[in-house]
Structure 1
């Protein structure tokens, strides 16, 4: 991939728990379709390659002064799909309380709706409240959660492959819509799932939508190395990020995967303003508001609250300085960046004011095309490599 892949994560009004209090937050529109379609179309106009849509089965932590509630990420992505042409749509879908058959169908449907621009970020459910919301099992430890997630990804990807590309024949003279010989049982038996298949959704435009995993800890690192097309990382500086990417590529090679067939993206929390002083003052004000509602500790430790770890590289400053930093990141060998705005609309407004709109190519590229990744052949097709 020659150019730095650029994504943006869109967590409501921003990753900072007090971001909704800014007058430009548009918090009053947060649960409307217009809010999300404008966010995603603006990101596309600004040239972002993908938008990452967070989701969870839990309410955001904090008191009533914190934004509470969220819309379904897959539904948001599906709503924005027909209004966009080039940007990748990557919703989070937790697997702990979700059947992989449902995940497979939802993401494949999104790939159809977006003409091949769908991805899936794999997440797990770690809270008692999430387990209680479903009532089917108790909370699990990290190792059990990610072992289950590993099996879930295996089931989902097998289901995506269970229809060969040419399974739809639509043969009017014989009255056959599909060739049953090109539909396949997946016959998966694991510790958590027993799924026969095949899928009920035909093979989607990308064949396999892009699978994303955050490599946050040893438990998620393993599934990232074995299953992900995109691996998201955090780091306190560029040298550490480059070292982490090198280690991941070595681990990929050790498992028999081609390291060049996986992209490593660095998460970068940002806040943008017209000057460094202005950006710093904005963040200080957000922190004061957060401290007033008892969230200051969360601002340094909880990704789901402020989203900025005390050891996480971040940029608070101007767009010009951000461009310089992105250049340094590209030269470090990192494949791409996911911006995580502390205040979403402040970041989008600053970028809009300083960057010309990106011309939309007439060619329809899939997310795999944009990442420079090949379209895989169904593992069940005759002659496919096992």
Structure 2
């Protein structure tokens, strides 16, 4: 079922929180600002940052003008109103460039931190995450677009009947929702709620199979599958100085690692891999995780991305201001309108 959309616009994103030797740099605000600006200079759609990063990205937002900002939000036992408030602030500060990556807490230790006595099966955790996404959408949908009415809507996860006050609708309508759909248990949630699905795939065939599965599931749920972008997520090690670490794409492509599929090679070979996977229709783009933040992001932007731009395979400027515009996604229509408690389908 691979559609022709995969041969259309190429989408590129990068992580800015993958620390290698110096783990203290994981949430260094100055490094995040520097990395986001570099990614923006290459025209990337968005950057991602791990859990508890909303405050850092609120500092990144005024230091950038176009690039999307996507923190990870752990949705397990999280009140949707808290998600709504935090992500809404980032969306307003950035002028419509916010997203949020849904994640779950799956280990026994994490279960204890969230008040549980035992770990919960993954399918149940992802079902809860979907409920948080749905409840947050209700909170983001005002009765009148841009109107500070103070109307109340149903409450968040675990408290659906409690009314919550809301303000004006956000610049994006709904901030972009990102889900790592590598695990089978996360795919139904991704198909129902995600605007962007990440897939850690070690081969073009694997990536294409997951993309097709997600598109079929989205259509079965009443969504337009062309409203879902599927990005292959790879850790990239582009070597030091002028030398590549070892042959990458030409030597067999990504290989398994503790952090997911790892590409190790030079910027030119990475451009070839990106071109081959995208033009085959297997993916809509790539989410790239630098193995060494400063070195690999710089080589990615000034090497790989510059080559793709030179070949007219990736944009050289942002055609719009919001993250939805970068991704080619329409601003979603209001799902929940009219009287309190009315509901529509997920977007």
Q: Name the TM tier (shorter chain).
A: 0.7 to 0.9
Distance 2:66 2:175 in 1: 15
Deviations 1:55-81 (A, max 9, x none): 2xxxxxxxxxxxxxxxx2111111101
Change (3 A) 1:197 1:110: farther
Would you say 1:256 and 2:222 are equivalent positions? yes
One of 21, 44, 48 as aligned partner of 1:52:
48
One of 266, 284, 287 as aligned partner of 1:335:
284
* TM superposition shift of 1:380: 3.4
* TM superposition shift of 1:187: 6.0
One of 88, 93, 103 as aligned partner of 2:83:
103
Kept in 1, the 8 Å contact 2:233–2:286? The answer is yes
Deviations 1:156-187 (A, max 9, x none): 1111114531423xxxxxxxxx3x5xx34236
Question: Which runs of no fewer than 5 residues in structure 1 stay unpaired?
Answer: 14-18, 22-26, 56-71, 169-177, 282-298
Structure whose CA Rg is larger: 1
* TM superposition shift of 1:239: 1.9
TM-score, normalised by the number of residues in structure 1: 0.75
Change (3 A) 1:47 1:256: same
Kept in 2, the 8 Å contact 1:162–1:186? The answer is no
Distance 2:289 2:332 in 1: 30
Distance 1:195 1:322 in 2: 50
Kept in 1, the 8 Å contact 2:140–2:166? The answer is no
Distance 1:382 1:134 in 2: 35
Distance 2:96 2:208 in 1: 30
Distance 2:269 2:100 in 1: 31
Kept in 1, the 8 Å contact 2:61–2:94? The answer is yes
* TM superposition shift of 1:200: 3.3
Change (3 A) 1:134 1:257: closer
Distance 1:201 1:20 in 2: 44
In structure 2, what is the equivalent of residue 84 of structure 1? 64
Would you say 1:33 and 2:25 are equivalent positions? no
Distance 2:289 2:46 in 1: 12
Q: Secondary structure at the match of 2:78?
A: coil
In structure 2, what is the equivalent of residue 204 of structure 1? 170
| Matched residues, number | 321
Q: Secondary structure at the match of 2:47?
A: strand
Kept in 2, the 8 Å contact 1:161–1:380? The answer is yes
One of 128, 140, 159 as aligned partner of 1:160:
140
Would you say 1:186 and 2:138 are equivalent positions? no
In structure 2, what is the equivalent of residue 225 of structure 1? 191
Kept in 2, the 8 Å contact 1:184–1:380? The answer is no
* TM superposition shift of 1:137: 5.0
* TM superposition shift of 1:378: 1.7
Distance 2:146 2:302 in 1: 47
* TM superposition shift of 1:368: 0.8
* TM superposition shift of 1:97: 3.6
Distance 1:217 1:378 in 2: 30
Deviations 1:78-106 (A, max 9, x none): 11011111111111000114211100111
Would you say 1:347 and 2:296 are equivalent positions? yes
Would you say 1:367 and 2:318 are equivalent positions? no
Deviations 1:27-82 (A, max 9, x none): 56555421211111111112211101122xxxxxxxxxxxxxxxx21111111011
Change (3 A) 1:49 1:31: closer
Change (3 A) 1:201 1:239: same
Question: Which runs of no fewer than 5 residues in structure 2 stay unpaired?
Answer: 248-254, 310-314
In structure 1, what is the equivalent of residue 17 of structure 2? 11
Change (3 A) 1:320 1:241: same
Distance 2:301 2:326 in 1: 22
* TM superposition shift of 1:262: 1.0
* TM superposition shift of 1:236: 2.2
TM-score, normalised by the number of residues in structure 2: 0.82
Q: How does 1:98-137 map to 2 (within 5 A)?
A: 98-135=78-115
Distance 2:337 2:78 in 1: 28
Change (3 A) 1:349 1:372: closer
Distance 2:114 2:25 in 1: 29
Deviations 1:273-317 (A, max 9, x none): 368964139xxxxxxxxxxxxxxxxx966xxxx412xxx3x4211
